[in-house]
Amino acid sequence: MLTNILAERYNSIVATAHDTSGLARWLQDQPSPRRRGLKTPPPAQSRLRFAFYGRVSTANHQDPVASHQWQREAATQAVGTAGAIVCDYFDIGCSRSLPWHDRPQASRLLDAIRNPKREFDAIIVGESDRAFSGNQLQQLLPTLTHSNITLWLPELGGPLYPGNPTHRALIALLGNDARREVLRARHRTLTAMRALARDGGRFLGGRPPYGYHLADAGPHPNPAHARWGRRLQRLEPDPATAPHVRWIFTQRLAGNSPATIAAMLTHRGVACPSAADPGRNPHRNGKSWATRAVDGILANPRYTGRQVWDRQKILHHETRPGGGDTGGTTTRRASTKDQWVISGVLAHPALIDEATFVAAQRISSLAVPADGQERHYLITGLIICDVCERRAEPLWVHGKAAYRCRHGYRTARPANSPLPFYAREDALLAAAASELERVTGDTQTLWDRVALSGFLRARQVTLRCSRDIVALVGPLPENVQLVIPDVIGVSSADLAGVTGDAGGNPIGFGRFPLPKIGRPTKRRPRRITARSVTKRNP
């Protein structure tokens, strides 16, 4: 929205600047005074029509009108008496690392180049570093040559000839300089931000965490920025939400889980973060607290009064450093705790002390069994729920490893939701071993649970499970379907050729169809145990 507003303002000012009425037209019509010893150059026989291209990267930190004016002035001086600029293409708010077809005005220029009735004969750029980066110019040259368009560069003071070795060397040099400038600017900015956060605890932007709001922190330390009216900001406790943050930490120290705390906050009618700041969360309904919101508050060290920066990194996915056109969409990834930048001084009022925060982190760490023994799960991550496509979570039941899937519900589930899936690890491994024994003929190795789990993990074979059926999915000799013993009583040989009905829906196995998502079932779930496996496989 800001870029569109600046673009409209830019277009209106440029139109006014190009007005040739009044004094400007009078100056153009006046003949230049002759001086002794100087000869007036003869007029050009054929004047070229130029299309000007320029770019400004940051619309809110630079004046697009001033940037357009000096770039166009440089282009006009490079053109000289060879012709005149007849049309302008100027991108606002686009990085130089973006390819031309991803820039709005550059894309329009490419479409105009392919048009046989175009209104220009050549292209002139205001500055090569702003127009091209990396190998973008080399990729553009075949299109220009095919359309018989000449490219002029201010650094050459004339047209570019791709067959000239000197010009080819200059193209490579300009592209590398533009990419180097991107890397230098990125490195200098990140280094300066790291120093400001660590040494001075300065607030470096972003939304305030739940429990705080932004307050004025005085004029900008840079005198030039201060004269422009720029001021610093800092975090101050929000009277409406800060008490809830302290209450969340108190409940966590009392032993309540994040899911329980979230349910208690929703029951008490406390506004969740998205409801407390709806302007920045228009995509959320703000009706209830989520467990992840409580987890985020409990894991945020900024509530201790310290400024913490670089908890998340932006990954550009560049296969070539500085080449934005070589990567896909940027993503955010959480940084490891040793990469966080924590201020050495208190930067804002604390809502909790550091001892409380550290104690809450210890409670949030991995749970230790009461007997002090380690729990080992052999097929963690290999169990896929057939109902909701989630990976089943491991748990310890009556001294045995088991897996369950509650289909995303961490508290009470709705009445019309499918029943959870529960299965013991030894029962799943025994069922897999019996079928793999039939397929492979190996009766010694596959019955060992550790060897069997290694066999499945090495071949990236997953177990797709419902309450009754287990299917092996992966690179096996054949499509193996496993039936959990003593639950349905149908052998794997009876499942051959069963794929689906005329509508493509699964018709089930044996006399019991698979439970469908969203349809309640009245049958009680049968627990899968090793005893039932032994009964079917004596």
In a 13 Å sphere around the CA of 387, the CA atoms on its Cβ side amount to: 24
Give the residue from 3, 4, 183, 179 showing the smallest Cα distance to 93.
Answer: 3
| Continuous segment of H or E residues that includes residue 195 | helix 165-195
Give the CA count within 13 Å in the CB-facing half-sphere of 327.
Answer: 15
Assigned token pair, 76: 């006009």
- CA-wise closest residue to 298 among 203, 362, 344, 214: 362
Amino acid at 195: A
Which residues touch 65 (CB under 8 Å, ≥6 apart)? 9, 10, 13, 14, 17
For residue 162, give Cα distances in angstroms to 119, 120, 129, 168.
23, 20, 18, 6
Would you state the pLDDT for residue 447? 56
Closest alpha carbon to 162 in 170, 154, 266? 170
Q: Contact, 512 vs 526, CB < 8 A?
A: no
Residue 303 near residue 352, CB atoms below 8 Å = yes
Whose CA is closest to 100, among 134, 147, 60? 134
Q: Write phi, then psi, for 152 (nearest 5 degrees).
A: -110, 140
Hunting for tokens 């899968």 — which residue is that? 528
Tokens of 316: 């550009």
CB contact at 8 A, 60 and 70: no
Give every CB contact of residue 23 below 8 A, 6+ residues apart in sequence: none
78: enclosing H helix or E strand:
helix 64-79
Q: Supply the pTM of this predicted model.
A: 0.52
**pLDDT score of 31:** 59
Angle, helix 258-268 to helix 242-253, in steps of 10 degrees: 140
pLDDT at 337: 82
Closest by Cα among 260, 230, 233 to 247: 260
The tens place of each residue's pLDDT in the chain, 538 residues long, gives 444 554 555 555 455 445 545 665 655 565 555 555 545 555 545 688 999 999 888 766 778 888 888 888 988 888 888 889 999 999 988 887 788 888 889 999 999 998 888 999 999 998 888 888 878 888 888 888 888 888 988 888 888 888 888 888 887 787 777 777 777 887 888 888 888 888 888 888 888 999 999 988 888 888 888 888 888 888 999 999 999 999 999 999 988 889 889 999 999 999 889 888 888 778 777 888 988 899 999 999 999 998 888 888 777 655 454 454 444 566 778 888 888 888 888 889 999 999 999 999 888 556 667 777 788 899 988 998 888 888 888 988 888 899 988 887 766 777 777 888 888 898 888 877 776 766 665 554 445 778 788 888 888 888 888 877 777 787 765 544 444 433 323 333 333 333 333 333 332 222 223 333 233 334 444 444 444 444 444 4
What would you measure as the largest C-alpha separation in the chain, in angstroms?
Answer: 118
Whole-number Å distance between alpha carbons of 434 and 534? 11
Radius of gyration of the chain (CA): 34
Helix (H) or strand (E) holding 438: helix 425-440
Residue 79: which of 159, 161, 162, 163 has the closest Cα? Answer: 159
Cβ-count burial 398-436 (b if 16+ within 10 Å, e if not): eeebbbebbbeeeeeeeeebbbbbbbbbbbbbbbbbbbb
The pLDDT assigned to 326 comes to 47
DSSP string computed for 23-44? HHHHHHHSPPPP-TT--PPPPP
Pairing of strands 481-483, 469-473: antiparallel
Q: Which amino acid is at 41?
A: P
- DSSP letter assigned to residue 57: S
Task: Kindly tell me the burial class for residue 291, based on how many C-beta atoms sit within 10 Å of its own C-beta (0-12, 13-18, 19 or more).
Answer: middle
CA 215-217-222 angle, to 5 degrees, is 140
Measured distance CA(338)–CA(256) in Å, rounded: 28
| CA–CA dist 149, 49 (Å, integer) | 11
Q: Is 493 helix (H, G, I), strand (E, B) or coil?
A: helix
Do 329 and 371 contact (CB within 8 A), yes or no? no
In terms of Cβ atoms closer than 10 Å to its own Cβ (0-12, 13-18, 19+), residue 342 is middle
Domains and CATH numbers, the chain: 46-181 (3.40.50.1390), 212-362 (3.90.1750.20), 383-410+417-473 (no CATH)
So what's the pLDDT on residue 481?
45
Q: What is the pLDDT of residue 365?
A: 56
Residue 32, pLDDT score: 55
pLDDT value of position 537: 46
